[in-house]
Structures are given as C-alpha cells and as structure tokens.
Amino acid sequence: MSEVIRLENVWVKYGDIVVLEDINLSIYEYDFLGIIGPNGGGKTTLLKVILGLIKPTRGKVTVLGDTPEESRRYVGYVPQVTLFDREFPATVLDVVLMGRLGRKGILGRYGKEDLKVAYEALESVEMLELKDRRVGELSGGQLQRVLLARALVTDPKILLLDEPTASVDEPTKTNLYELLKKINNKVTIVLVSHDMGVISSYVEKIACLNRRLFYHGSPEMEGRAVEETYQCPIYLIAHGFPHRVLKKHKRSK
C-alpha cells in the first residue's frame, strides 16, 4: 500500500506551550487508524496539522505526496460536535450539500450531479429517508451520520474524524463503527478518541498520543504504551474481568 500521510519530526507550540512533540507518523492507503489519548493530549491539533489548518512550529507534513494545503480537497473532516443550535433552519439534505460548496463557490448553485452525490452519501449512512427533516430534530447519532455524509460528498481519499461518538449511546457507537468499517474499503480513515474499549475492537492500528506519540502500527496494544500516554495505570475491563480488547490480527512474517 502507498503512504498517504507522513509526519516527520513535527512539533507544534502555542507560545511556550508544547502541544505536539517530535511526532513521526506514517499512514498508508486504506488504513483504519485509531488515535487514543487523554483530553488535551493534542489529538485535535494533530488532525488540524494534517488538514493544513495549523502549521507546525518545526518538521514536515506530507499528504498524498503534496502539502496539506494542496491536498485538503481530497480530505474529508468530521469535527467534534460540542454545541449545536437546534433552531438552525436547515434540512438534512441542506447540510450534506454544504460539503459541495468547495466545488461551487459560495454563490454557486447545486446541480443534478450535486443532488445525486448527496443522495448517495445519505443512503450510504442510512439517512436518505430523513433528507427533508430539520437537523435540529435529529438525535446525536443521526447528526453524526449527517456530518459523515457531508464529508463523503467531497469524494475524499482520506477521512479524519474527531471524537465522532462523544455524544451518542453505546448501541449507536457500535452502529457507527460498523458503518465506518464499510467506508474503509474505499477510504483511509483516521479517527481520534479517548474511548479505548470501543475503538480498539474496530480499528486496524492504534496510536497513543499525549503530546508525544508513544506507540504506532503494531498489531498489539501494549499496557506500557497506554500507561505512558495517560500517565497513570490503565486496566481494560469488560464484564468484570481484565482482557485484551484488540481483535486477533494476522502476524506479519
């Protein structure tokens, strides 16, 4: 598989505060990478560096063989939803079509192709039947699916998701991760979260980030790497018993 994202010795500082320290990371075509870490550990900053929204203080970032700014049109982004105006006067279809604005310009009009792509994206996230519903009437999980569809209408090669299940219940989380696994057949996915127990059951690779990148790309998640990331002892528990939450992987020869 070809390398689609590469970070070399990347540092990000806000004044004297180091947010990312000497990050080296390679992500390959059709990877499904989960980045876990505590709040404030730099996960969102890392995504914005890949998008070209934040320039590193030091180091080099390459996306699809070019600069993040030049490759941004091939990257879909689903930001973390913290506040949302329930009175916002837009339908589900309106929100998804906003993802096509980059191709039209602010004053451009949507055409038949835009509507076709929007319908296909909504169908892929199982939200087509609700296309005319106001977004303010949606549940948290439904809203996440709409935002995912908005990212998909750009026909991305890479999909970046920031805490996509932060405001949804456990069954909805499972459904969303199953949906992402299907999308991963065509798109490279990078998903950041602090939810170790769920994310490790679905992604193919895991990285631990807390300013520094402690771990990346191995078929196993080591306890030491997790504890270094969270700066405290970590136990993974299900049904009252510690266990390994990663699914079985094929061992490399």
Least confident of 184-188, 192-196, 241-245: 241-245
Structure-model confidence comparison of residues 243 and 199, the more confident one: 199
Residue 94 lies in a domain: no
- For residue 207, the model assigns a pLDDT of 86
- For residue 104, the model assigns a pLDDT of 56
Q: Taking residues 149-177, what's their average pLDDT? A: 88
For residue 11, what are the β-bridge partners? 58
pLDDT at 29 over 90: yes
pLDDT in tens, 75-96: 999 988 756 677 778 999 999 9
Residue 171 lies in a domain: yes
Domain span at 33: 3-84+156-242
Residue 113 lies in a domain: no
Q: How confident is the model at residue 36 (pLDDT cuts 50, 70, 90)?
A: confident
Residue 65 lies in a domain: yes
CA 30/CA 129 separation, integer angstroms: 29
pLDDT in tens, 129-145: 999 999 989 988 898 89
Q: Taking residues 151-162, what's their average pLDDT? A: 95
- For residue 243, the model assigns a pLDDT of 35
Which residue is it, tokens 């065509």?
186
Residue 124 lies in a domain: no
Residue 11 lies in a domain: yes
Pairing relation of β-strands 241-242 and 3-14? unpaired
Q: What is the pTM of this model?
A: 0.82
- Tokens for 159, please give them: 């999909």
The helix-helix angle for 140-152 and 112-124 (nearest 10°) equals 130
Q: Taking residues 202-229, what's their average pLDDT? A: 70
pLDDT at 195 over 90: no
Task: Give percent above pLDDT 70 in the chain.
Answer: 79
- Tokens for 108, please give them: 């451009």
- For residue 218, the model assigns a pLDDT of 52
Give the residue among 73, 80, 125, 127 at the shortest CA–CA distance from 100.
73
Residue 227 lies in a domain: yes
Give the residue among 132, 94, 129, 130 at the shortest CA–CA distance from 114.
94
Distance between first and last Cα of the chain = 17
Q: How confident is the model at residue 247 (pLDDT cuts 50, 70, 90)?
A: very low
| Domain of residue 78, CATH code | 3.40.50.300
Backbone angles phi, psi at 67, to 5 degrees: -70, 155
Size of the chain, expressed as the number of residues it contains: 253
CA 88/CA 81 separation, integer angstroms: 14
The helix-helix angle for 170-183 and 140-152 (nearest 10°) equals 10
Residue 188 lies in a domain: yes
* Number of folded domains that form the chain: 1
Q: How confident is the model at residue 224 (pLDDT cuts 50, 70, 90)?
A: low
Alpha helices for the chain (secondary structure H):
43-51, 68-71, 92-97, 101-104, 112-124, 140-152, 170-183, 196-199, 223-230
Q: Taking residues 148-172, what's their average pLDDT? A: 88
